[in-house]
């Protein structure tokens, strides 16, 4: 064990004295030391229950013969951070989480790890750390929020943001808006649709790093506590068998995750996080793979915001394993990969059953024969832009319209609120990329306002920033290169015609190359007077097309 090098012999007597200062008995010191990385805090609704999850994991580790030691990871609530400067600090925490976890583990000699994330950046941040550290590791999340109910219909956070847009357009009154406020988010947990947090927790199951139900068992259910205890016990099996993170997160497992992403209709943010995780695993992984996998992978789920079903419904329908079982019928997965159960993925899903074909479509009758995410390219996005096509209205899959250009989210939001956006427009929001934002803010406020005003089937939005998993509509993000790096999106002028063709994966600015060259010669990207962590991040971060990673190998 790693820890043995810290406690054996006279030369480590000082280490032993400090373990004694922790109150650890000799017996506890001799057992495998398991680091429990808890993302608990009292400001993120998805994390407010993680103290209970952490205690259950500690009990499981002790039951399995290990010594559990808890240390923290930070977490930002994307919903609370949305629409103001706080969102600049969301994506950037992914690297802080990975780096600080690495520092704690390497400094203290843990033999295994249990990661307890829940919301958007904690899951990929801790997956990145797990790959980097390559110890026996297992994940158990806090689970999804239960759906709200307004007017007899299930709701989620996207419903709340769209209600704001409806209110601004005069379509609902104060009383109805307040009803949404009171009823939309009824429990702890990660927001109840297939948003980024739930996408990544589901993909953790696919990657083999979490036990069955990790992505779908609702946060308030007692089954979540049971799962946490089992995760604590199971990490001890991983330690005994020396099954490490990179034994599980292989190239084949990452391809499985991208395949499942297409079937589940996950958040576009997975196109940032999967490449970043792959980078830590030293696996080649790029956006160009997405369309090839999408072409052969049917979309089986339309969870909110794409449809009327929620994470609790997916759980009752059989969860992630039932989706994987459907995909396995077409031979779309590598079932030989190892998982944290100590068994292969094929063995894990052998008894999985699709219990509700209205929630998980049979593979023979999908929502569409192609996957939920598409990567578009063209002169406006030479390195790619990402759209959640499973959440796009059919009439907007192909669209052409005049550009309405804004150099920040705030400028665009003001124009939308003032009723200045018209049917047919293509809203362009730039200088919101990884470097230009910095931090690649999510655009849930403007996209929800567009939806709330009834423009979702006639207006598109394009940005070098990104979108919340709660976004729906013809919204294309991650446009690369970004404006701050001299990308063509920085050259777009008011009224330019933009052509979107999602079935053909095309995104074009209808301006001649001669005119674009003239604009390039006169173009100087806007800059900001940054300080602190954002300044350092902006100087180091890569393009959205490569996962907005730093510390590139």
Q: Give catalytic residues, as residue numbers.
A: 468
H runs (alpha helix) in 265-318: 270-281, 288-296, 311-316
H runs (alpha helix) in 8-67: 13-21, 26-30, 50-63
User: What is d(CA 274, CA 128) in angstroms, rounded to the nearest whole number?
Assistant: 9
User: What is d(CA 482, CA 36) in angstroms, rounded to the nearest whole number?
Assistant: 38
All residues at 6 or more sequence positions from 93 whose CB lies less than 8 Å from its CB, including other chains: 74, 75, 76, 121, 125
Pairing verdict, β 426-429 and 398-406: parallel
Asked whether 254 and 285 are in contact (CB, 8 A), the reply is yes
Token couple for 502: 């999602």
Other C-beta atoms lying within 10 Å of the C-beta of residue 369: 11
User: What is d(CA 34, CA 109) in angstroms, rounded to the nearest whole number?
Assistant: 9
Token couple for 185: 């988010």
DSSP string of 465-514, one letter each residue: SB--TT--SSEEEEEES-GGGT-GGGG--TT-EEEEETTTTEEEE-S-HH
User: What is d(CA 486, CA 484) in angstroms, rounded to the nearest whole number?
Assistant: 6
User: What is d(CA 115, CA 172) in angstroms, rounded to the nearest whole number?
Assistant: 42
* 428: nearest Cα among 458, 390, 452, 401: 401
User: What is d(CA 280, CA 249) in angstroms, rounded to the nearest whole number?
Assistant: 10
Asked whether 417 and 167 are in contact (CB, 8 A), the reply is no
List for the chain the helix, strand, coil content (%; round to 5): 45, 15, 40
In our burial notation (b when 16+ CB lie closer than 10 A, e otherwise), range 58-75 reads: bbbbbebebbbbbebbeb
Pairing verdict, β 374-378 and 381-387: antiparallel
Asked whether 33 and 109 are in contact (CB, 8 A), the reply is yes
Measured CA distances, 266 to 194, 304, 395, 508 (Å): 6, 10, 21, 25
Token couple for 151: 């007017």
């Amino acid at each position: 064990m790693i820890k043995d090098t810290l406690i054996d012999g006279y030369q480590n007597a000082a280490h032993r004295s400090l373990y004694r200062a922790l109150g650890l008995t000799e017996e506890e010191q001799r057992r495998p030391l398991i680091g429990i990385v808890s993302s608990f805090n009292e400001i993120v609704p998805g994390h407010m229950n993680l103290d209970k999850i952490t205690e259950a994991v500690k009990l499981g580790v002790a039951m399995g013969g290990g010594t559990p030691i808890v240390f923290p990871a930070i977490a930002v609530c994307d919903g609370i951070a949305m629409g103001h400067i706080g969102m600049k600090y969301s994506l950037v925490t992914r690297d802080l989480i990975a780096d600080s976890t690495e520092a704690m583990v390497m400094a203290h000699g843990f033999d295994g790890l249990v990661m307890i994330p829940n919301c958007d950046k904690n899951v990929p941040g801790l997956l990145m750390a797990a790959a980097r550290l390559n110890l026996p590791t297992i994940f158990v999340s806090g689970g999804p929020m239960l759906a709200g109910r307004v007017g007899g219909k299930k709701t989620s956070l996207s419903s709340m943001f769209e209600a704001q847009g409806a209110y601004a357009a005069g379509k609902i009154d104060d009383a109805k808006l307040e009803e949404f406020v009171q009823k939309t988010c009824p429990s702890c947990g990660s927001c109840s649709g297939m948003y980024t947090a739930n996408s990544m927790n589901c993909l953790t199951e696919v990657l083999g790093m979490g036990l069955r139900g990790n992505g779908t068992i609702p946060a308030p259910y007692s089954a979540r506590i049971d799962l946490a205890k089992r995760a604590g016990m199971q990490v001890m099996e991983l330690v005994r068998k020396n099954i490490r993170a990179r034994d599980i997160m292989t190239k084949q497992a990452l391809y499985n995750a991208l395949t499942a992403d297409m079937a589940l209709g996950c958040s576009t943010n997975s196109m940032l996080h999967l490449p970043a995780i792959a980078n830590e695993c030293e696996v080649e992984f790029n956006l160009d793979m997405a369309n090839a996998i999408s072409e052969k992978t049917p979309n089986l789920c339309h969870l909110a915001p794409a449809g009327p079903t929620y994470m609790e419904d997916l759980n009752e329908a059989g969860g992630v394993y039932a989706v994987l079982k459907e995909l396995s019928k077409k031979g779309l997965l590598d079932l030989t990969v190892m998982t944290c159960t100590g068994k292969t993925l094929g063995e894990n899903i052998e008894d999985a059953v699709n219990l509700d074909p209205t929630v998980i479509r049979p593979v023979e009758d999908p929502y569409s024969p192609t996957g939920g995410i598409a990567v578009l390219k063209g002169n406006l996005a030479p390195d790619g832009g990402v759209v959640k096509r499973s959440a796009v209205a059919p009439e907007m899959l192909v669209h052409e319209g005049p550009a309405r250009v804004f150099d920040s989210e705030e400028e665009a939001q003001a124009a939308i609120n003032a009723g200045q956006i018209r049917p047919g427009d293509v809203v362009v929001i730039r200088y919101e990329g990884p470097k230009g934002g910095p931090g690649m803010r999510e655009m849930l406020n403007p996209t929800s306002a567009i939806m709330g005003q009834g423009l979702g089937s006639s207006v598109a939005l394009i940005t070098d920033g990104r979108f919340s998993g709660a976004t729906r509509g013809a919204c294309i993000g991650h446009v690369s290169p970004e404006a701050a790096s001299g990308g063509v999106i920085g050259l777009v002028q008011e009224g330019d015609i933009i052509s979107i063709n999602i079935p053909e994966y095309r995104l074009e600015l209808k301006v001649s190359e001669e005119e674009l060259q003239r604009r390039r010669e006169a173009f100087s990207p806007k800059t900001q007077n940054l300080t602190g962590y954002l300044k350092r991040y902006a100087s180091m971060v890569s393009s959205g097309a490569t996962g907005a990673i730093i510390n590139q190998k």
